[in-house]
Amino acid sequence: MYLKRDRILTALAIMFDVAFYAGRSGVVSGTDIAKRNGLMRRGIEPILQALSRAQLLDSVRGPKGGYRLARSPRVISLKEIAQVVGTKEHGKGNEIQNQLFERVLAPYWNQLNVVIEDRMQKETLSDFLQLAEKEGLSRPSQAPLTFSI
């Protein structure tokens, strides 16, 4: 299910943050990602690791290390991100069990999730970057600093 999944929304926010602030050439630290999104660093670490294992993010070690996109934002779909972190949320065991839920609400909810899944398959991180640009948000410059003396 995609509706009301905090872990999925957090993963989408992390990937969008990395795409916006680092792209494929720059690097952003996990601490910076957490601060910009109002999250705890230790709380996003499992999600960062899952995204790295799925080869959506590259992890860069060292004092200037952090995370960058493993692939172009044009080829990373929102569905792919959701699938990496959303699988653990199925079957938590606290599902509602009554006839109204099972016969009416659950099928309706499943239909909504199919619609959302189809849309997420079609949209990519690149689409989000274009939306950010339309909203007047400008990405930080990735040009290297040069000094002349």
Per-residue pLDDT tens digits for 113-131: 899 999 999 999 999 999 9
- Highest averaged pLDDT of the listed ranges 4-8, 23-27, 42-46, 138-142: 42-46
Mean pLDDT throughout 34-56?
95
The reported pLDDT for the residue numbered 90 is 47
**pLDDT surpasses 90 at 12:** yes
Query: Please, which contacts does 12-16 make with residues 24 or more away whose CB atoms are closer than 8 Å?
Result: 12/78, 12/81, 12/82, 13/37, 14/44, 14/47, 14/48, 14/51, 15/51, 15/56, 15/57, 15/69, 15/76, 15/81, 15/125, 16/125, 16/128
pTM beyond 0.85:
no
**pLDDT surpasses 70 at 103:** yes
The reported pLDDT for the residue numbered 40 is 92
> Phi/psi of residue 68, each to 5°?
-145, 165
Domains parsed from the chain with CATH numbers: 6-134 (1.10.10.10)
Q: Which residues contact 99 (CB under 8 A, 6 or more apart)?
A: none
On whether the CB atoms of residues 11 and 51 are closer than 8 A, the answer is: yes
The reported pLDDT for the residue numbered 79 is 95
The reported pLDDT for the residue numbered 56 is 97
- Distance, in Å, from the CA atom of 108 to the CA atom of 134, rounded to the nearest integer, reads 34
* Nearest of 57, 85, 59, 84 to residue 73 by alpha carbon: 57
